[in-house]
Structure formats: C-alpha cells, structure tokens
Structure 1
Amino acid sequence: MDAAGGERLIAGRYRLLSRLGEGGMGTVWRALDETLYREVAVKEVRAPAGLQAGDITRMYSRLEREAWAAARIPDRNVVTIHDVVMEDDRPWVVMELIRGRSLADLLRAEGPLTPRHAAHIGGEVLSALRAAHAVGVEHRDVKPANVLLSEDGRVVLSDFGIAMVEGSTALTMTGELVGSPEYLPPERALGRPSGPESDLWSLGVLLYAAVEGISPFRHDTALSTLRAVVDEEPPVPTRAGPLAPVIAGLLRKEPAERTPSAEAAEALRDIAHPDATTTAGARVLADPAAPATARALAEPGAAAPAAPPRRRRTAAFVAAGVAACVLIGGGIAYALNGDDGNTGTDPGVRMSVAGTNTTYTGGCPIPEGRAPAFIATFTASEPTLISYRWVSGDGSVVDPHWRTLSIGDKAEPTKRDTVRLTAYAKSGTLTTGMAVELQSPIRVTSNPVPFSITCTG
C-alpha cells in the first residue's frame, strides 16, 4: 500500500487516506468513515517479523485492550474511541482524528518550552492520568510522542496500548520491555509492581524533557538508560524555573514519596496560570510508617490574617519521646513585611521559623490556646515556586511529603505556613525542636526552634 492508502476499505466502512505516523504497535492512518462521512484515525497493528503465533495473539489482545482502556475514561484530554473492527483476523481501532502534532514533534521543531507552557501541557496530561487512574487504568507509556496538541487547543493523551487495567491479566510478551526506557519508572525497570505513581514518574520525565529539550536519563543504549533510571539522580534542570520542585517531586525513586497527583495538579495550575492564583493551601499528609498514636487532623492556623485553607489533611509528627505528639497544619498566612530576621537561602529567597508557647506542662491533650505553634515565613524577590517540609530538631521528617508554595508576587511577596502541636500521651516529656527543610530552589534547613511538652496526666 502506498502513502495515500490506495483504495483499501477496512470493515467495509473506513477508507484509508494517508499515513499519520508509525510506532512500536503499528501504523496510524487518516481515514474516512463512509457511513457517517467524517474523518477518523485508524490504528493498524503490525506484528514484527518472526514473532511467534502466541505473541501475535497477545499483541492483538493488547490493541483491543487499548480501545477498552481509553473508551472507559471520561476526560476531554483522552482520545475518544469510536469503534474496534476486525480485518484480516486482527483488530483495528477507530478513534477521533486529532488535527495537530505531538509534543515530540513540537520539541523537535521548536526546541524546549517555557516553564509556563510546559506546565500547561503537563497539567492537561495529568488531568487525563487522574481520570484514567480513577477508573483503574494505568497508561504505562507517558512520553511526548503520545501527547497530541490539537489545533483547537486541546492536549490529548493517546496510545493506551500497553495500559494496565486494574484486575486484568498482564499481556507482556516474553522478553519484551513495556514502555520507552527513558520514561520508564524505576519500579517497572526492576520488575516490581506498579501503580498510578508510576505514571507520575513518567510525567516528571516528560516535564523535564519539555523544558530542557532532552530526557534526564537518556543514554546510548537501553541498558545504560535503565541503569540510570534505577541508580542515578537526574541532572539538575537549568531551564525549569518554577517547575523545578514539581519535577523533583515527581522523580523520587520511591513511588510512595512522589508528589501526589492532586498537589502536582495544583502546582502546575499555579505555574501555567499565575494571574489566576489567589490562595495557596498548605499540604500535610499522613506518614504510613508513623505509630498509630502519632496522627493528626489539619486545622486552620491561628496566626496573622490567613487565607482560608483549601482542604483538611492528615499529618504525622514522628517523635522518639514518650509523649506522642501531633502536628496540626494551618493555612497559609499572607504578609507584606516578612523581613524579620529571615535566613538567607537562594539569592532573592529567604525563610525563617518562629515559635510561640514553646514550653508546656500540664494535662494532655493540650488546650488549643496553649499549644506550641510554629510559623515559617518565606519571601522572594521574584515569583518563585518553593518546595519544603517540616522536620524536627534532630532532622527527623515530620511531614513525609514535600509541600509546594508560590511566593514572590509583587503584591504579596511573603507567605507563611503555620503549624501547632498537641499531645495525646498521659504522661512524659518531649524536648526537641521544629525546623523547615527547603528542597528547591536550594537545599537548606532552617535553625530549629526548641520546644518542650510535658504531659502530667
């Protein structure tokens, strides 16, 4: 068949017109649906030469699963599947025709994107992934070639051909590497179970490639690339700007430590649409390894005129003392004068931590008005997205997840995060401190503010 597709008619209905692209799973054609008189895209499978019959059957099953997986995802950022037909004893997937080009084509033609443009595309891809994960589907091959940029402005995630549907049987062929090596998460490279966090890793690699022009783990061979994915940290991006902490959070080797999708989505929205950002929510999550007695509920902070917190979250304060303590995260408070003894970090970015009610002796739980409280103040001379978390005086992690916060707006250059402590133990004393560890734009930890809690029963 020539590039124009000849006169071939698939299933007596779809006339192939021209070749749109080729990949590991076959060829995608532009076609005319002669029943509804509309143009569509038709995916043709092409079995590699020498493939065993069982593997060919498995490949056909995978293609059918692509249609099943994509068709069950209700999101405008996922390609719409119209039909699956059989021709020559193999399935062909009929889908909407996206007029535009892929992100890979855009990067090849125009080079790296601005952080804001990359954040917009990444946010749309993340919307598709979150919709897929909500119905039990992992994409498993998120990369620029599978992100389509429509002429009408849509960003569409395509090619669910190797998607893993919750509850289904894996259809990997013997010896086959599923997914593109440089976008493969470490757990898949090691043959370990995957989950939605695996797609988030691939999104992090995609964002890195979008702003830097090359994926962070690319090497000369697939084996060396996989070794880098498993063992090496990505090179520090030089063009990512406010995207740097988002990328860093998604590219943590351990799946459980990656930035959750909701937080990543919020950060990408803030970067892509900075003028629409009016509030910033502090994020506090439970540490699953913490003792059952060390847990808390996020509540509004009591310091300064505070913006309403967007949500309530669970937090954990992991303490080695006999008093089991709880970290209660507050909303972000805004101030115009945060320059009160801040510790210098990156040029133009400053932070400090202050405490109140830092010594307590009495019955527990602590009455709210007497609970130790700590305020972290962040200031920047220009718009900056920072990544930070609360730690104890000995460096133990208080909040296991990194929080992100946009600071440096001309109208509101300073923002604050407030937390309070209480205790449920009946007796005992805990003496330590509270500090803030900054991950990006520079790695630094503030001086701890000492505190002491004595529960008298």
Structure 2
Amino acid sequence: MSQDEPRNDVVIAGRYRLGKRLGRGGMGTVWQAADELLGRAVAVKELHVGEGREATGALREARTVAQIKHPHVVVVHDVVEDDGRPYIVMELVEGGSLADRLGADGPLDAGETARVGLALLGALSAAHDRGVLHRDVKPANVLMEAGTGRVVLTDFGIARLAGSTTISETGAFVGSPEYTSPERMQGATAGPASDLWSLGALLCAALTGESPFHRDSLGGVLHAVVYDEIRPPVQAGPLTPLIRGLLERDPGRRLGVAQAQRLLSAYVTTGSLPLVDRAPGPTRPAGPAPTPPAPAGYSPTEHVTAAAGTARGPGSRTRLRAELVAALAVAAVVGAVAATALLPERTGGGGQVSAQGGRSTGPSPGPSTSAPQSPAAPPSGGATATATTTVTAPAPVAPAHPVSGKPAPAGYRFVADPDGFGLAVPQGYRRTTDDQRVFYVSADGAIRIGIKVTAAPPGGPLAAMRQSDENGPSNNPGYRDSSIVPTTHDGLPAALWEFTWNGFTAAEGPRHTFDLCWDQNGRMYDVWVSAPVGRLTQARGHFDAALDSFVPVG
C-alpha cells in the first residue's frame, strides 16, 4: 500500500479510523480520519517523535495547545497515545493552505493580506497568553477554509512553551529557516517576538509568493535572515511600515501583537495605516557623544584582532552567505550565527597583535599620553603601546571602483588608501590612523570603520578571531554576546566576529562591532565597523558597503 492510500484498517485509540494522508512534514504526518464514536470527520496528526520522555513531552505540549480556544486556531479534540506513538486529533478544515493558494492563484493583494495577518495575530495572541510559542508560522501552516474564508493557524507540532530554544535535544534545527527569527537562528531562547518576525515574513510571502529570505541554499537563508538588508516588497504599499516593524532584527524593538493588531484593524476598516508606534527598544544614549580618550587604567582595544592583524576582510554579503553554507552543520551554524542577531561590537580587526602575527598574551597597553583628542581615533589595540597618531592628509578619492568601474553607492565615495587598499566610505568620514590601523570616522566620532593589514599569522583567520575573543573581556569592559563564524571571502578562508561591550563612556553607552578577516596572498586583511547600539542600522550598511567594495592593492 502506498503512503497516500487510505489506511482504513488502522484504528487508533479504539475510535479514530485513519483514511487518506493529507500531508507530511518534519514533525509529523496528517491523516484524514473518522471519529467512529462521535461520527464525525477529523484530522489526525501522527507525531514523529521518539519514545519515553520525548513522547511524553510531545503529548504534554499538545495538551497545552489544546487549551487554546480561538476561532483562528485549529481546534484540538483529543491527544492520545497508541502503541507508544503520540497522536493529535484535530478538527478537519476543508480547504487548502495559504501556500497552496499562493501556488495556485498567485499573491494576495494588500487588503486580503491584511485580513489574513489580523486573523493570525489573534491566533498568536491567544497562544502567547497561554505561554505557547508556535515557532513555525509559515504559509503551509495557515489553512484557508473553503466557502467561509476562515483563516486557521495549525500545526503547533513544534510549539514549545516560552523559553525553549531553536535547537532540539538531538541537535536538529526546529522550524522553517526562511521564516525563523534572527534570535532563534542564534540558538538562543526565544519569546513571542519570534513568532511576530515569522508573521512579517509570511505577510511578505502572501504579497509576493515567497519569503523575503528565500535563497538557493540553507546557508544563504541564514545569512539573509541575519545580515542582508531587509526591503519590504513594493507590493506591500501602505503595509510597509507594519512589515518593517515586524521584521525588526532587535526583538526588543519589534512590533508587539497589540500594536500590529491596531495597525491592521485600522487598515482593514479604513484602508489606511496609522502611525507606527514602535515597541520600546533597549535604553539608548540621548545622542551620539564624541568619544574622549580612554580613561586611565585600561585600554579598550576597539576592534582588536587576535591574530597578527586579523584583518577582517572585505567580503561581499553574497560571499559571506556562501561561506555560511560551507560552515553549516545546521546546529553549528545556528550557534555561530547567534551573535549576528545583535551584531555586537568586535575588538577584532586592530587587535593586540604580536610581531609574529599572533595576538599578544600580555596585558593590554594603557592609553598613550598622546591619545587622540578626537573621538575619531580610538585607543590603540596594537601589539606595542605606541602613541596614536592622527593622519590629517585625506586619502585620494576615486570617482569609481578601481576594479568594477561602478560609481560609489549613493552617500559614499571610493578612497584609494595609501596603506594599500581601496574601499567605499560614507561621505564626510575622515581618515585617522594609529600605529597599526586605519580608521574612517564619522563627523561626530560615533561610528568608526577600521582596516588593518598584516602578515598572515599561523592558524589563519579563525584562530586569530578566537584568540581575540579570548582577550575580549580584558580589552573591552563589559564584553559580551560574542560569536565567531568560520566563513570565506572571495573563496578564501575567513572568520566573522561580533560582540558588544560597554563603550568608551557612560554617556555614549554600549557599542557593537562587526568584524571580518581573511588571508590573501600572504596577508591578513581585517575590516570592521564599530558603532553605538542605537545606530546599528547605519553601521550594518557601512559594514556591507566596505566589504562589498574592498580591494587589496599591491
């Protein structure tokens, strides 16, 4: 008998006779069935779990889901166990999924998308009120009831109580990557906000036919979720602010259920969207403050790379994506990508580096008496405690990219740096240096693009970044949320390092750093961007532009 043929000879729990198979996913197989006790058609989901504690846990979680009563949540009639295998008995919703409808009829218009979104928000709100996260909100798990148009959120098969992680006990990835939030990609615990990110991706799919994070490989998907610029589809029209709010990478700033419901309710009834009230984000400084010389007693080697000049290499975002593919054992990548969600500030690129190319193991040098008077030049993180020097001579400006010939992106200019490289930097950024590194710094000193070029050290970029990470707490007060991802740049071995720390001053507040280094022709290139946490969007854009345009010279 084929898997799709009716299984009329199978009766579970003494009352549910299985019929044809309706669908199959990673977490279970769904059968149409007849409840012989009550004489009604039902859907029965056979869970793909093990025995013992795993099966018991699945049943317990299914019973919790059964307590959710909402018109847009599939009704769970029963939770049973038969021959050691758990089953969930649900209402049978006549009609296909949203994925089926998109495949057959094409994308929805903004009005229908808003109606679907509003229904799903109600379903998620009811689930979250009971402490249940769906964790797999996607078009295939949204049913569209024929004849009534009722929207039903189903397949809570991987739902967990709030506080669970994305990696199962067996190390498997839980959920659908194209609809999974950045914080869950980290393997970190996730809250209700993670379901709202998934809803934002689903709304984009409803408007266009596919997730905005769809790529040709799993590594590409992971990179897109964590790094790529998020552009709501043009089809979103007036729903664009809502989608932007749901696809905010920082879960603390993501739109909440109540806010999103208010916006969609207004749109469904009036055809227009009121102003978006963003969810309160983390405390930020009132404004970017100039960074004074580091206080005596410590040397926050901003962007210190452990390997001799762990140069965070200019890598295009596309290449980084490819690199993640190579580095991917799903659980490993998920963990590695973790830090990317917050894009923490790294001490990588200009790190304390020994003359041999390895990171210095000695104490971090204290600030020089000739520390820069401008916030543009951070304290030196080099191997030797030489004085920081500000270079006033600007780098030559190139009208176009020296290799591709393309004009600089809007708001940027190409510079041919005298230290042997070229890249695009924002208009108005000025060049400074210390004894080991080159910086391009914003007018207010708050955002710094750093570049370091050294001889390639033993162990390569990954070893360099790991050593930098080990020295992070001593070099950066409040060092936290760090992650290192092995990757490639232009097909060459590379490493991506991110972290956050307390910043130079209390007035400025915490900072994040993005840092990429790679080996090329016997040299290690390290490129990083450091910025206050309140300006991460700017920083990410500058980081991408620098990596996409970087060209070694000589």
- Please, what TM-score do these two structures have when normalized by structure 2? 0.48
The structure with the largest helix share of the pair is 2
Helix, strand or coil for the counterpart of 1:272? helix
Shift, 1:284, TM fit: 7.6
- Shift in CA distance, 286/213, structure 1 to aligned 2, threshold 3 Å: closer
Structure 2 partner of 1:273: 269
Structure 2 partner of 1:146: 141
Asked if the contact 1:122–1:203 (Cα under 8 Å) also holds between the matched residues in 2, the reply is yes
Asked if the contact 2:166–2:184 (Cα under 8 Å) also holds between the matched residues in 1, the reply is no
| CA distance in 1: counterparts of 2:163 and 2:287, whole angstroms | 39
Runs of 4+ in 1 over 6 A off after TM superposition: 167-171
| CA distance in 2: counterparts of 1:258 and 1:248, whole angstroms | 9
Shift, 1:166, TM fit: 3.5
Structure 1 partner of 2:39: 37
Matches within 5 A, 1:338-377: none
Shift, 1:97, TM fit: 0.9
Asked if the contact 2:74–2:153 (Cα under 8 Å) also holds between the matched residues in 1, the reply is yes
Asked if the contact 1:207–1:247 (Cα under 8 Å) also holds between the matched residues in 2, the reply is yes
Matches within 5 A, 1:30-429: 30-46=32-48, 57=52, 60-61=55-56, 63-151=58-146, 152-166=148-162, 172-274=168-270, 283=277, 289=283, 318=286
Shift, 1:46, TM fit: 3.8
Asked if the contact 2:166–2:187 (Cα under 8 Å) also holds between the matched residues in 1, the reply is no
Mind listing any 5+ residue stretches in structure 1 that lack a counterpart? 48-54, 292-317, 322-393, 397-438, 440-457
| CA distance in 2: counterparts of 1:62 and 1:36, whole angstroms | 28
Matches within 5 A, 1:7-46: 7-46=9-48
1:121-153 residue CA offsets vs partner (Å, 9 max, x unmatched): 011011111111111111111000111111233
| CA distance in 2: counterparts of 1:133 and 1:103, whole angstroms | 22
- Shift in CA distance, 57/216, structure 1 to aligned 2, threshold 3 Å: farther
Asked if the contact 1:62–1:162 (Cα under 8 Å) also holds between the matched residues in 2, the reply is no
- Give aligned pairs, total: 289
1:421-450 residue CA offsets vs partner (Å, 9 max, x unmatched): xxxxxxxxxxxxxxxxxx9xxxxxxxxxxx
Shift, 1:274, TM fit: 2.2
For residue 6 of structure 1, what is the amino acid of its counterpart? N
| CA distance in 1: counterparts of 2:279 and 2:37, whole angstroms | 53
- Shift in CA distance, 229/167, structure 1 to aligned 2, threshold 3 Å: closer
Structure 2 partner of 1:359: none
Shift, 1:65, TM fit: 4.1
The structure with the largest strand share of the pair is 1
Shift, 1:35, TM fit: 0.6
For residue 64 of structure 1, what is the amino acid of its counterpart? L
| CA distance in 1: counterparts of 2:230 and 2:214, whole angstroms | 10
1:403-438 residue CA offsets vs partner (Å, 9 max, x unmatched): xxxxxxxxxxxxxxxxxxxxxxxxxxxxxxxxxxxx
| CA distance in 2: counterparts of 1:236 and 1:284, whole angstroms | 17
| CA distance in 1: counterparts of 2:165 and 2:188, whole angstroms | 15
Mind listing any 5+ residue stretches in structure 2 that lack a counterpart? 290-443, 447-536, 538-554
1:210-258 residue CA offsets vs partner (Å, 9 max, x unmatched): 0011111111111221111111123441211111111111111110111
Asked if the contact 2:108–2:207 (Cα under 8 Å) also holds between the matched residues in 1, the reply is yes
Asked if the contact 1:142–1:183 (Cα under 8 Å) also holds between the matched residues in 2, the reply is yes
For residue 274 of structure 1, what is the amino acid of its counterpart? T
1:155-210 residue CA offsets vs partner (Å, 9 max, x unmatched): 11111122121477988232200110100100010112211111000000000010
| CA distance in 1: counterparts of 2:57 and 2:104, whole angstroms | 32
RMSD: 2.8
For residue 176 of structure 1, what is the amino acid of its counterpart? A
| CA distance in 2: counterparts of 1:74 and 1:269, whole angstroms | 21
Structure 2 partner of 1:343: none
- Shift in CA distance, 115/196, structure 1 to aligned 2, threshold 3 Å: same
For residue 123 of structure 1, what is the amino acid of its counterpart? L
Identical counterparts, % of pairs = 49
Asked if the contact 2:165–2:190 (Cα under 8 Å) also holds between the matched residues in 1, the reply is no
Asked if the contact 2:133–2:161 (Cα under 8 Å) also holds between the matched residues in 1, the reply is yes
Q: 1 or 2 for the larger relative contact order (CA 8 Å, sep ≥6)?
A: 2
Helix, strand or coil for the counterpart of 1:43? strand
Helix, strand or coil for the counterpart of 2:93? coil
Helix, strand or coil for the counterpart of 1:24? coil
For residue 12 of structure 1, what is the amino acid of its counterpart? G
Structure 1 partner of 2:517: none
Shift, 1:281, TM fit: 7.7
Asked if the contact 1:70–1:80 (Cα under 8 Å) also holds between the matched residues in 2, the reply is no
Asked if the contact 1:104–1:144 (Cα under 8 Å) also holds between the matched residues in 2, the reply is yes
Shift, 1:26, TM fit: 2.1
| CA distance in 2: counterparts of 1:175 and 1:167, whole angstroms | 17
| CA distance in 2: counterparts of 1:13 and 1:228, whole angstroms | 47
Asked if the contact 1:62–1:171 (Cα under 8 Å) also holds between the matched residues in 2, the reply is no
Asked if the contact 2:119–2:151 (Cα under 8 Å) also holds between the matched residues in 1, the reply is yes
Shift, 1:23, TM fit: 0.9
1:377-399 residue CA offsets vs partner (Å, 9 max, x unmatched): xxxxxxxxxxxxxxxxx9x9xxx
For residue 121 of structure 1, what is the amino acid of its counterpart? V
Shift, 1:95, TM fit: 0.9
| CA distance in 2: counterparts of 1:62 and 1:72, whole angstroms | 16
Asked if the contact 1:65–1:161 (Cα under 8 Å) also holds between the matched residues in 2, the reply is no
- Please, what TM-score do these two structures have when normalized by structure 1? 0.58
Asked if the contact 1:69–1:163 (Cα under 8 Å) also holds between the matched residues in 2, the reply is no
For residue 238 of structure 1, what is the amino acid of its counterpart? V
